[in-house]
């Protein structure tokens, strides 16, 4: 039987007394690769913050590795949404990845040989070791995203959480990043959120929809019912460059192109 990595049991989250997540039940098992989609404001990033312990549930319980969030979150590597930054800031790729080791060391403790070996290995895992001494501001958006994934891997996590990992990259680099995540999933559990319905349905093992409530059945197919309950309207997805139609045809579609 698969090991439970994350368990959310009847979880509610409120902001200013307004429900943001409603009665969420989700179990993530070892080896899962789950993609969650949903509209802006639907609670996707809030769900990740909940798992990371950055916010607390109004009601319900969250367990990570069968432990409290405060203890279990040490098993999580997190890749946030890409933000703009000062490209002239003099930080090298290896320095960014070393930040992933901060939670493994005492305050003000120097990096040691083990840290450096893990940083190097993390860069190798994402195909960026040759850029270790390059200022990160000189990299493309897709290359920077690989570095941020390496930073998360450097924390030696059991699970990788990603928030819109391909939001700032071109279509070719999107494919490269999803292929990278597919490789990482061979030895690590992954949960990601995205707007990119076509791409994630090609690469993830299971897919769900989140708009305050979670519609997740442990399957890799999006059904019209899941989409319409999430987006509150009929949607037909035509995925350019994706080798299959994600949704079966149904009447009166609202077309959404990648």
Tell me the pLDDT band of 226, cut-offs 50, 70 and 90: low
The pTM is what?
Answer: 0.84
Q: Can you give the pLDDT at residue 39?
A: 85
Q: Can you give the pLDDT at residue 218?
A: 81
- Ordered domains of the chain (ranges, CATH): 4-257 (3.40.50.300)
Tell me the per-residue pLDDT of 156-211, one tens digit each, with 9 for 90 and over: 999 999 999 888 787 888 889 999 999 999 999 999 998 777 777 788 999 998 99
Tell me the per-residue pLDDT of 54-105, one tens digit each, with 9 for 90 and over: 999 999 999 999 999 999 999 999 999 876 666 667 799 999 999 999 887 7
Three-state SS string over the chain comes to: CCCEEEEEEEEEEEECCEEEEEEEEEEEECCCEEEEECCCCCCHHHHHHHHHCCCCCCEEEEEECCECHHHHHHHEEEECCCCCCCCCCCCEHHHHHHHHHHHHCCCCCCCCHHHHHHHHHHHHHCCCHHHCCCEHHHCCHHHHHHHHHHHHHCCCCCEEEEECCCCCCCHHHHHHHHHHHHHHCCCCEEEEECCCHHHHHHHCCEEEEEECEEEECCCCCCCHHHHHHHHCCCEEEECCCCCCCCCCCCCCCEEEEC
């Amino acid at each position: 039987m698969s090991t439970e990595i994350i368990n959310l049991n009847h979880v509610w989250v409120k902001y200013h007394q307004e429900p943001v997540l409603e009665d969420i039940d989700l179990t993530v098992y070892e080896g899962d690769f789950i993609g969650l989609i949903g509209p802006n404001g639907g609670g996707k990033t809030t769900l990740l913050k909940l798992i990371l312990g950055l916010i607390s549930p109004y009601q319900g319980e969250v367990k990570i590795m069968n432990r409290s969030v405060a203890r279990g979150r040490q098993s999580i590597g997190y890749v946030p949404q890409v933000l703009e930054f000062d490209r002239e800031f003099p930080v090298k790729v290896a320095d960014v990845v070393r930040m992933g080791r901060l939670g493994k060391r005492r305050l003000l403790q120097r990096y040691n040989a083990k840290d450096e070996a893990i940083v190097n290995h993390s860069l190798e895992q994402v195909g960026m070791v040759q850029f270790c001494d390059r200022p990160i501001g000189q990299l493309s958006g897709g290359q920077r995203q690989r570095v941020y994934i390496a930073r998360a891997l450097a924390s030696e996590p059991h699970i990788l959480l990603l928030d819109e990992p391909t939001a700032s990259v071109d279509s070719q680099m999107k494919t490269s990043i999803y292929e990278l995540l597919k490789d990482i999933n061979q030895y690590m559990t992954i949960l990601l959120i995205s707007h990119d319905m076509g791409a994630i349905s090609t690469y993830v093992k299971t897919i769900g929809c989140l708009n305050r409530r979670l519609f997740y059945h442990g399957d890799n197919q999006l059904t019209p019912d899941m989409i319409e309950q999430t987006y509150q309207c009929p949607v037909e997805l035509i995925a350019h460059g994706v080798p299959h139609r994600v949704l079966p045809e149904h009447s009166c579609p609202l077309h959404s192109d990648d």
